[in-house]
Amino acid sequence: MSLAEPPGHLGGLDLADRCNTPVLADLLDERDLLGHGPLIDDSLTERDTDRCRITKFIASKPEGTPLTHIVSYTLKGVSNDRAERVDGSDPDYQFAYRFVDELATCEQPYVEKWESSGVLMVSPTLRLLDLITEGITQTAHADGLRRDRQFLQDYLSNVDSLDEKGKQMLDDDFTSYLDRIEDYRLLFDVHRVDRRGGESTQQMTKRYKTRFNDEGRISKQYARFNDALEYAYEHYETAAVATFTTDPKQQRHLLDGTENINPNFNRLLSYLSRDPSTEKDTRKESVANWRPDLADDVTGRPRERPEYIKVLEFTEKGYPHLHVLFFDVPTRESDGMPWLCDKQELAAKWSDYGQGEIIDVYPLVYRDDLDDLDPDFQDEEGFVDWYRFGDHDYGEQWVRDRTKQHDLIEFGDETEEEETTAGAYLGKYLSATFGSLLDATDSFEKTDDERETYGDKAATWKIALYWATNRRFSSCSKKIGRGIDPNEHLQDPDVREAVRDRSLDSMKAACESSIKDTLARRRWTDIDDLDAAIERAISDVENPAVRSTLPDESSFRCIINYRGAYAYWDLPADGTTVSIDLEAIEDYVAKDEELPVVDRENDPPVASVWH
């Protein structure tokens, strides 16, 4: 196939069109690439819809497309030759430029930008194509068949709690999915143009890698949680851990409660950030605590959006609830207690949103001397119970009375051998879950009786709930997320320029004495000629002549297009091949053989291929 053919012929447009907008929006929102994310009714703002449209359009042009075309086709709704002249003063152009820049400056970029004849061009990276393929396989297909995940979603939308039969169904379908994707490969066409202009097409395969079966991604998820905790240790002194439950009586069905819990949490964050100037602050000693009859007069809101780490967990009946660690919590005027908000006020709001009626909030304080305290801690630092380890003058009876008021959160359990930090409190569930996933090849093949040894928190049916509902195990606020992203400073052009200048200065300084010594040994009639020669030689260190022999731009191009997902025995193979090495099957794919017509592409949801 010629690379000169229209891009639609390469399969890019079809690839992007098969990923519907709601699914793509969820994927972009997980990566903090949307402005607001899905709203309460699962709709999108106009600009977030534009972001999804831009993403799909870029993915459909693997050979690259001008930014002005992106603006014309996706935002103006007309072809480029019919659109008005688009330039930097146009609001749509500015919006598209900023969003494309976000995609390009991620730690692992989704797009690449370059200039061609003064025109800003944009092309997708492999990571963006991977994102689109994940969205394709999570999109429902109207073929009359119900895939595993869709079948489970239908089931969860018709029950208000899980019984043993439902748990077994989740377990069976999820383990079946894991077993099946081991036999699947993703097939790609690789189009190459070499430096002499020659074209060739090969095919390659990649194994299925999802957040449930890829050891690297599983470890990265848990590492990200621990990195977020480390970031909090360095930046915050106070915290509060809160639990937000789901009331089945307020939900239409189990799926409804799971899908609503994160949007309702975002609504609660917006409520906490608002600053009602007419309502008195309950943190002040002279202001009464919040109660329903004072709802219009007082509030305990921090009046700014708090940073957080959030963990989603399921109860034994399948009800979702959130454990949230809030940081930099304001303190109460009377005694310095971290005071996220009045517990009654939070509970009333959580109930108003239709999620649940029961919450709990526990005040915490950061300590870096836990190994010096009388009780034994499993960590040297962390956020711990403010009642017992905070800076206040209350007696032991007051501390006991306050700790007994927390029904959902328990610190310092006397049955524990060591005291608990908030990070360990949240991490206990995640470590069991991720540990079970890391041992997937063994644990998911065990019998029902053997699986019980993994404990209720790592039960397979609970992990299956994350898969069936497409929920994340944990997440953190954007500020913390950006703070733990590695090598962010490399994206700063000022830093890059400073590193370059200092490197050149060091190089010239290291070469100067050797250059002077070498040139001084020659015969010179004029000392000025010697100085000029030294300057030229040092200058050549900074601008070596070899640079002029390098091409201005790469003349080698490679375009990769996704063909589909196939069981490895359905992949066409050279008849002379006796046994196929699944990791190198691209060496045996017959170039002219048509792929068999099978309907396996939609079976397993594709997640990450390249990571």
Beta-carbon count within 10 A of 390 CB: 20
| Per-position b or e across 297-335, b if 16+ CB within 10 A of its CB | ebbbbbeeebbbbbbbbbeeebbbbbbbbbbbbbbbeee
What burial class does residue 117 get, using C-beta atoms within 10 Å of its C-beta: 0-12 exposed, 13-18 middle, 19+ buried?
exposed
Cα-based distances in Å from 381 to 232, 292, 330, 370, 414: 11, 39, 21, 6, 20
DSSP classification of residue 28: H
DSSP letter at 150 equals: H
Maximum pairwise Cα distance, the chain: 99
3-state helix, strand, coil in the chain (%, to 5): 45, 15, 40
Residue 13 vs residues 102, 103, 142, 295: alpha-carbon distances, Å: 22, 19, 20, 54
Q: What is the DSSP string of 545-596?
A: GGGGGS-SS---EEEEEEEEEEEGGGS---TT-SS--GGGGGGT--TTPPPP
- Retrieve residue 15's tokens: 């690839």
Q: Which two tokens stand for residue 522?
A: 């020659």
Q: What is the pTM of this model?
A: 0.63
- Asked if 12 contacts 189 with a C-beta cutoff of 8 angstroms, the reply is no
Confidence at residue 122, expressed as pLDDT on a 0 to 100 scale: 92
Helix (H) or strand (E) holding 186: strand 184-193
Q: For 220-232, give the DSSP string.
A: HHHHHHHHHHHHH
- Report how far residue 400's alpha carbon sits from residue 393's, in angstroms, rounded to the nearest whole number: 14
Considering just the CA atoms, what is the radius of gyration of the chain in Å?
Answer: 30
- Round to whole Å and give the CA distance between 134 and 151: 19
Cα–Cα distances in Å, from 76 out to 48, 80, 124, 529, 607? Answer: 15, 9, 21, 63, 32
Positions in the chain whose pLDDT score sits under 50: 1-13, 140-145, 415, 441, 443-456, 488-490, 544-551, 574-611
Give the pLDDT confidence of 397-415 residue by residue, as tens digits.
Answer: 999 898 888 888 877 555 4
Tokens representing residue 169 in the block: 């169904």
Residue type, 533: A
Strands 238-244 and 359-367: antiparallel
User: DSSP label at 74?
Assistant: I
CA distance 311 to 321: 9
Enter the tokens of residue 549: 């022999």
Q: Tens of pLDDT along 37-67?
A: 777 666 788 888 999 999 999 988 877 889 9
